Amino acid sequence: MAIDAQRFLVRSTDRAQWLAAREGGVSATTVAEAATPAGFRDVLDKRRNPIDLSPNDYMMFGTESEPALMEFAHREHGILPSDWLIAGEDPRHLATPDGLSVDHTEIAECKTTGKDWKTPPIKYRRQVQWQLAVTGAERCLFLWNLRVPDEHGWFYLAWLEPKSLWIERDEDMISELVGVADRLLSIEGGDDD
């Protein structure tokens, strides 16, 4: 079940091209936010009136911490780090999972958080389901580590190893998210007001 090579669009390390390739499509973050009525309105507004997407300190720390989390994913589960923007069967459906198994049946998603979770928040579960839909993978290793500030305001990871759990495909949630994404795309395309 390998993803066709043409669906690997651009690496996120080439930020300008990565952002450009995402224009006109729907990413995991976007569809997760748009899954509620208020979120849908917010997403439409942001897409019509783009805001500055410069990384903040929290985003930078998450990006800098990702290799440590993915080292665990690779060592324990054989999932390799990935920074590729991948297009789905519908090329406007896009995702950048943090990890991908060699056979493309598993992905990984990494987060740093200021508060520990028993289960990942719904917005992250939606992101994962979208990534599973786009890649066609069967399940996702979701990893997280606690972000703690020191006395100078610098962040560090609280645990030696991340917490993790498997999230299986949820076809009902995927179907709902595809509907949200397609509705966003149809409104932007002028099919709906």
pLDDT of residue 53: 65
Q: Are 138 and 168 in contact (CB under 8 A)?
A: yes
pLDDT at 190 over 80: no
Mean pLDDT along residues 164-181: 98
Q: Is the pLDDT of residue 56 over 90?
A: no
**Pick from 102-106, 135-139, 150-154: least confident:** 150-154
* Burial readout 82-113 (b: 16 or more C-beta within 10 A, e: otherwise): bbbbbbbeeebbbbbbbbbbeebebbbbbbbb
pLDDT in tens, 58-96: 888 888 889 999 999 999 999 999 999 999 999 999 999
pLDDT band at 189 (very low <50, low <70, confident <90, very high): low
Structure confidence at residue 52 as a pLDDT band (50, 70, 90): low
Per-residue pLDDT tens digits for 21-42: 998 899 999 999 999 999 999 9
The amino acid at 101: S
Task: With both helix axes pointing from N to C terminus, report the angle between 37-48 and 171-188 in degrees, rounded to the nearest 10.
Answer: 40
- This prediction has a pTM of 0.91
